[in-house]
Amino acid sequence: MRILLLGGTAEARALAARLDRDGRVDLTVSLAGATRTPAALDGTMRVGGFGGEAAQAAYLRDGGFDAVIDATHPFAARISRRTQAICARSGLPYVLLLRPAWEPEAGDDWRVAAVEADVAGKIGAASCVFLGTGPGSVEAIGPLPVDRVICRRIDPPTRDYPHENGDWLVGRPPFSVEDEVAFFRAEGVDVVVTKNAGGQGGRAKVEAARVLGLPVVMVARPEMPPGEVVESVAAALDWVERL
Q: Which amino acid is at 140?
A: A
pLDDT tens digits for range 75-89: 999 999 999 999 999
Instruction: Return the pLDDT at 215.
Output: 97
- What is the rounded CA–CA span in Å between residue 162 and residue 29? 33
Which one, of 218, 237, 225, 226, lies nearest residue 101 by Cα? Answer: 218
Q: Considering the domain delimited by 110-219, tell me its CATH architecture.
A: 3-Layer(aba) Sandwich (3.40)
pLDDT tens digits for range 104-150: 999 999 999 999 999 999 998 899 999 999 999 999 999 999 999 99
Q: What is the pTM of this model?
A: 0.90
- Asked if pLDDT for residue 35 goes beyond 90, the answer is no
3-state helix, strand, coil in the chain (%, to 5): 35, 20, 45
In terms of Cβ atoms closer than 10 Å to its own Cβ (0-12, 13-18, 19+), residue 18 is: middle
Instruction: Return the pLDDT at 41.
Output: 80
Which one, of 123, 116, 30, 21, lies nearest residue 71 by Cα? Answer: 30
- Asked if pLDDT for residue 34 goes beyond 80, the answer is no
Domains of the chain: which residue ranges? 2-100+223-241, 110-219
- Asked if pLDDT for residue 190 goes beyond 80, the answer is yes
Confidence band, pLDDT 50/70/90 cuts, at residue 172: confident
Average predicted confidence (pLDDT) for the chain: 94
Q: Which CATH superfamily is domain 2-100+223-241 in?
A: NAD(P)-binding Rossmann-like Domain (3.40.50.720)
One-character DSSP codes across 185-224: HHHT--EEEEE---SSTTHHHHHHHHHHT--EEEEPPPPP
- Across the chain, the runs of DSSP E, i.e. the strands, are 2-6, 26-31, 44-47, 67-70, 94-97, 110-113, 128-131, 148-153, 166-170, 191-195, 216-219, 229-230
Phi and psi at residue 96, in whole multiples of 5°?
A: -105, 120
Instruction: Return the pLDDT at 224.
Output: 87
Confidence band, pLDDT 50/70/90 cuts, at residue 42: confident
- What is the rounded CA–CA span in Å between residue 226 and residue 105? 29
